[in-house]
Each structure stands twice: as structure tokens, then as C-alpha cells.
Structure 1
Amino acid sequence: MVNYKDIKLALVEIIKVTYSQGTKKYDKMGLSYVGYLKTMQRKRDPDDHCRYIAKQRSPNEEVYNERMADFKDWYNKEVYQSLEKLYKLYILLAN
């Protein structure tokens, strides 16, 4: 069963990968995921919050596949793999 700790680890991985890239292209992205992580940590029930976010971001396989195709075009391989890991957890949590 996927829980908020799995999501937290995936978010931390994305943050590390984006900031390790050393380009301004990923600074805003890293900052966004830091914000997502902080919001999740402030919630009383982080599991419920993660389920809500998962249903927003990846409500079904079709949306997931579209997002992954876009991410593959936009980001390099390392960043794409970390995003793919997070969104796989989202799709598992949403269903």
C-alpha cells in the first residue's frame, strides 16, 4: 500500500535531482516540489492529502500516459525518471 512516506521520498528524490542539474531550467521546478513537500508535511492527515493530490494529478491511466509523454519531451532522462517514479505512486494511490 502506498502512503505519504513513499510520496515524500519520491518528492525528495525529485528535489535532489533537479538541484543537481545545475541549470536555471530546473530551479523553478525544484522550488515547486519543495512547496509540495512542505504543504504535505503541514497537513494533519498527510495520507488523505496525498490521495487528494494523486486524484488531481493522475486520475486515470490516460492522463498519466499523456503527462509522461509531455515530461519525456520537456526534461532530461534523470529528471524524467524521478518524475515517473512519483507519478507511478500517484496512479497507485488514486486507484
Structure 2
Amino acid sequence: MVDHKDIELAQVKIIKTALRKGRKYDNLVKNYGEYLKKLQAEKNPNNYIKKTAVKIFPNEEAYTLKLENYRK
């Protein structure tokens, strides 16, 4: 089962990769940086992950739109 440590590690890898590719001021880096800071500050990180995932991607259409925005 995936827990908050796995999510945190994945976010760090995404941020590092984006920065290496020169995307320092990109929406992806900004958003993932904010999510990572909030995740690290949470008392119950697993619940935070669930709430955030549902908020960001309430359905397939929202997921597709978010993915397209990151690709720009």
C-alpha cells in the first residue's frame, strides 16, 4: 500500500527532475512544491493525501485538464 512517505519521495523526484530540465518557474514545480510543504506540515499526512487527491481530481475530466496544463 502506498503511504505518505512514498508520495513525498515521488514529489521530491518530480521537483528535482523538473528543475534539472530548466522548469524552475513552471506551474508543475510551484504546485508540487506547495503540496510537498503542506504534506510535510500535516499531522495526519495520509488523510491529507486523500483529501487533496479528491479535491484536485474529482473526476476523469479534471485529471485530463490538469495533465494538459502541466504539459504546456
Q: Normalising by structure 1, what TM-score?
A: 0.61
Runs in 1 of length 4+ with deviation above 6 angstroms? none
Q: How does 1:11-90 map to 2 (within 5 A)?
A: 11-22=11-22, 26-29=23-26, 30-72=29-71, 74=72
Query: Could you list the runs of 5+ residues in structure 2 that have no partner in the other structure?
Result: none
Query: Could you list the runs of 5+ residues in structure 1 that have no partner in the other structure?
Result: 75-95
Cα deviation for residue 32 of structure 1 reads 4.0
- Higher RCO structure (Cα 8 Å, ≥6 apart): 1
Inter-partner Cα distance in structure 1 for 2:58 and 2:6: 18
CA RMSD, Structure 1 to Structure 2 (Å): 1.8
Q: Normalising by structure 2, what TM-score?
A: 0.75
Opposite residue 56 of structure 1, the aligned amino acid is K
Identity %: 34
